[in-house]
Amino acid sequence: MPQVLVAQVLKGLAYPANAVLLGGRDWNWSTAAMWASAGATMACLAAQSYFSGPAHGFATGVRTVGQLWWALSLFFGVQVTFSVLRYTSARGPWAALHSDETKRRVRDLKA
């Protein structure tokens, strides 16, 4: 099942990405990322139930295992996206890492 592979790769990226946020003590953004990923996953599961329900010719709103794996992939993918966007935004606790002073110090260390 390719959806399992996708979910596992994203899971492998999500844990370190979340750890970066938590290590940087970016609690609010980490919380927002978790809520966004949970909301997106619930919306995905609701859509899957709707489109596999009686309104579309199916007896019940039954989900397949593959659909659940795609929902998990979405869950981890949203977390990775939020974490990368926050880190690269150079705001909050990450502003110090992207400042000119930090870049100058890194150049001095390399020289």
Give pLDDT tens digits for 73-110.
Answer: 999 999 999 999 998 888 888 777 777 777 788 788 88
Q: Give the model confidence (pLDDT) of 15-68 as tens digits.
A: 999 998 888 888 999 999 999 999 999 999 888 887 776 665 555 666 788 889
Query: What pLDDT is attached to residue 61?
Result: 60
Angstrom CA distances, 39 to 23, 34, 46, 111, stand at 24, 9, 10, 48
The pLDDT value given to residue 102: 74
Is the pLDDT score of 11 beyond 90? yes
